[in-house]
Structure 1
Amino acid sequence: MAAGQKTPSNPQVLRIEAMPLGFGEAAVVIELAAEPPKRWFKALKREMAYSEGLETASAKFDGCFVYLVGLDPALGSAVRCASRLLAAVQVSLEHKGTDSHESDLAADDALHPAASLQAPRAASGRNEAQMEMSGSV
């Protein structure tokens, strides 16, 4: 890469492939157009730590390739889960305005997408409330 060129903070994803592992989990390989900066790797690991179901998975990096290993099948499609994770990393990096540690901590608390990466629940509050009302009449 030329010295004057700036490394993109959110690299373009060329390909995402998933494969089942022998013990029920899944692995995902993500190929990027360029090697991302270190802050992108840190943001990815941070989002994984905040996301329910991904906190036990691991991420390995090798140039333009990212390997996610140990994805829980309860999360649904491994490719879809990886896509949501990449979107969360992009949002996290776009909303960080300064490099100060305090703003990083505040942004982490406000922006982590744990709820968006969770597997959908069977019943939500609104449906439960309707069922309770019909049962009490």
Structure 2
Amino acid sequence: MPDVIQERAGVQVLVCDPEGPPIATEQDALDLIGAAFLGAEVVAVPAERLDEQFFSLGTRFAGEVMQKFVNYRLRLVVVGDISRHLADSSALRALVQESNSGGHVWFVPDLDALDERLRAAVATRPGRRPA
């Protein structure tokens, strides 16, 4: 399946194909942002597409990618099991916890969890009704 824009919980989401190209550079992240500009508010990236350096915070790659999404006013959602990475890094655990309490970057286990988060976000957004 190619990356596709889907309406999920009343929000346009670019759902990225798990088999798609890896996100290993800032340009790869910008390519996703460009694809999202076709109408998405959220980009859901499977964790397995993110290069290992994303989960090693010392590389600063995660911060660079996340900042690009914030700058372009797009929400980034990392979808999938990252428990292996979390077990290796207390800093990553703190980042995930802080990100999940905010509105710009989320880490969720699957698309169903994303739908739940989106429904909750839509319900609290002024002028929007939940799907």
**TM-score, normalised on structure 1?**
0.24
Structure with greater helix percent: 2
**TM-score, normalised on structure 2?**
0.25
Bigger CA radius of gyration: 1
